[in-house]
Amino acid sequence: MRKIALLLALVLMGLIGWLGLQDDVQQSGDTARREPAQVEAPAQVEAFVAERVDGPGATLAERTGSTFLPVPADPYRSPRFRVIDLPEFAGANAIWGATGRDRRGHIWFGVSVKGGRYSARLFEYDPVLDRVFERGDAVSNLIAAGIHKDGERQMTLHSRIVQADDGYLYFTTTDEHGVALDGTALPKWGSHLWRLYPGENRWEHLRQVPEGLTALAGGGRWVYALGLWDHVLYQYDTATGVMNSVTVGAAGGHISRNFIADLRGHVFVPRVTPEGAALVEFDPHLREIAETPLRGYMADGQHDRSHGIIGLVYLADGSMAFSIHLGNLYRILPQERGPSFVEPLGPFNPADPNYSPSLFTFAGERFLVGLARRTHAGKRDLLRHIWLVYDLESDRAERVTFPLEGQALLYGSITRDLQGRFYVAGRRHTAGEGNRPLLIQIDTSQ
């Protein structure tokens, strides 16, 4: 009995300590920025993480917004595609790769604007019903939350839309007014981090920050957002509501269009200096644990012209692949202990290295596929695309026809419905109508 009483006392003491820790964590939730050393979690929090990390019965594919299906009989066959009809509204301009998928298989995308109310809008597409539903705009939701400032604009929803382990979809909106492309001035109205629960469709405001949050990645419990300028990395803990940040560093005028987080909560962000670029790995405490050079990240000195990481995809073994502006592929292989291994794979299209702003996979194993900009007569035609199929086993890539007519800019990675169709987005330009948002469904089934 005395042993049982002692055991109960120890358990009670641990519980009291844990509750006190949670109070401390909650009270620190209003701190927008802290040094990484202040983010370390005691052992009690580590145990809490272990209980939450798998999410509510979700698979690796569900937790990363991926779909892994058998490889088509002929993976090199030209895919079919169709343009999804989108609602029209004043100022609608483009979908800058701002796509994602929830666990029901519904596709989400954000439309950025030029004009109108200067308020980016969120949409949901049901592939089964083949219907698009509007799910609100940034300015209206700032007003509803009681935090909108007179004249405030939020015209861009540039980030990917990511579902975290708590089931919420996370995304960012940002202003572009007053931003200096040389990296010397931030947007006038800054950015906002939002979340929405699928089916409830109510925007929940989480934080406002001064930087322009242009990219977002999810790592299970943690959601990360990357801000211009200087690659300020924000981390939002979905379990505690605590937000922290660290400055990674990026030379003036550069912002990577994407970055990557794994399901351990590790995050991989480019650091760009006048001398070159490297991929920096941070753990969930925002401690820097590795740095790997990225060759071919940009042309000499052209920081403002490089889009950094542009395509990314999760694979079935937990590894990740990504493409960078000048066409090179890399693969990240997380290790059980210590830093991840970052493996250069070479050009996505060895015969003609080029800009490849999307990346997908069939089964999450052997093949990478995606769109690339086409090169013609030694010059880059930025408005034409080809479909690339890359075999990881043979390091062989093949160009496949993608006969989209007209002038279009297309982006997007990972997003695939439960039937296996891929989604890319961007904008199309037509004479007399100007720019219009564009969402395309790509079908490789046979």
Q: Per-residue confidence of the chain (446 residues) as pLDDT tens digits?
A: 433 443 444 334 343 343 333 433 333 333 333 344 333 333 332 332 333 334 657 899 999 999 999 999 999 999 999 999 999 999 999 999 999 999 999 999 999 999 989 999 999 999 999 999 999 999 999 999 999 999 999 999 999 999 999 999 999 999 999 999 999 999 999 999 999 999 999 999 999 999 999 999 997 899 999 999 999 999 999 999 999 999 999 998 999 999 999 999 999 999 999 889 999 999 999 999 999 999 888 766 565 678 999 999 999 999 999 999 888 999 999 998 899 999 999 999 887 778 889 999 999 999 999 998 875 555 555 567 899 999 999 988 999 989 887 778 999 999 999 999 999 999 998 877 789 999 999 999 98
**What values do phi and psi take at 89, rounded to 5?**
-155, 160
In single-letter form, the type of residue at position 351 comes to A
**What values do phi and psi take at 385, rounded to 5?**
-135, 155
Instruction: Give the H or E element holding residue 60.
Output: helix 60-64
Number of Cβ within a 10 Å radius of residue 201: 14
Q: Of the candidates 227, 248, 97, 246, which has an alpha carbon nearest to the alpha carbon of residue 159?
A: 97
What is d(CA 286, CA 77) in angstroms, rounded to the nearest whole number? 43
pLDDT at 305: 74
What is d(CA 210, CA 258) in angstroms, rounded to the nearest whole number? 19
> Per-residue DSSP letters for 122-154?
EEEEETTTTEEEEEEEHHHHHHHTT-PPTT--B
Cα 98 from chain centroid? 8
Please state, in angstroms and as integers, the Cα–Cα distance from residue 277 to each residue in 242, 307, 359, 394, following that order: 30, 12, 21, 28
> Would you say residue 57 lies in a domain?
no
For the chain, first and last CA: distance in Å?
69
pLDDT at 28: 34
> Would you say residue 321 lies in a domain?
yes
What is d(CA 220, CA 64) in angstroms, rounded to the nearest whole number? 8
> Would you say residue 424 lies in a domain?
yes
The dihedral built from the CA positions of residue 48, 49, 50 and 55, taken in this order, carries a sign that is positive
> Would you say residue 49 lies in a domain?
no
Return the ∠ at Cα 144 (arms to 138 and 150), rounded to 5°: 70
Q: Of the candidates 45, 128, 79, which has an alpha carbon nearest to the alpha carbon of residue 440?
A: 79
The dihedral built from the CA positions of residue 69, 70, 73 and 74, taken in this order, carries a sign that is positive
Question: In the Cβ-directed half-sphere of 301, how many Cα atoms lie within 13 Å?
Answer: 0
> Would you say residue 194 lies in a domain?
yes
What is d(CA 105, CA 69) in angstroms, rounded to the nearest whole number? 14
Q: Of the candidates 169, 153, 151, which has an alpha carbon nearest to the alpha carbon of residue 161?
A: 169
DSSP SS3 for 143: helix
> Would you say residue 150 lies in a domain?
yes
What is d(CA 83, CA 98) in angstroms, rounded to the nearest whole number? 16
Range of the domain at 322: 65-443
Please state, in angstroms and as integers, the Cα–Cα distance from residue 326 to each residue in 305, 309, 373, following that order: 11, 10, 11
Q: Of the candidates 169, 155, 189, 17, which has an alpha carbon nearest to the alpha carbon of residue 106?
A: 169
What is d(CA 76, CA 333) in angstroms, rounded to the nearest whole number? 26
pLDDT at 301: 58
> What's the DSSP call for residue 13?
H
> Would you say residue 281 lies in a domain?
yes
> Would you say residue 45 lies in a domain?
no
pTM: 0.86
The strand pair at 309-314 and 320-324 is best described as antiparallel
Calculate the CA dihedral of residues 381, 382, 385, 386 and round it to 10 degrees.
60
What is d(CA 296, CA 329) in angstroms, rounded to the nearest whole number? 10
What is d(CA 191, CA 304) in angstroms, rounded to the nearest whole number? 20
Q: Of the candidates 349, 350, 321, which has an alpha carbon nearest to the alpha carbon of residue 334?
A: 321
CATH value at residue 211: 2.130.10.10
Helices 43-52 and 2-27, axial angle in degrees (round to 10): 90
Q: How many domains does the chain have?
A: 1
DSSP SS3 for 148: coil
Instruction: Give the H or E element holding residue 45.
Output: helix 43-52
> What's the DSSP call for residue 34?
-
Number of Cβ within a 10 Å radius of residue 285: 16
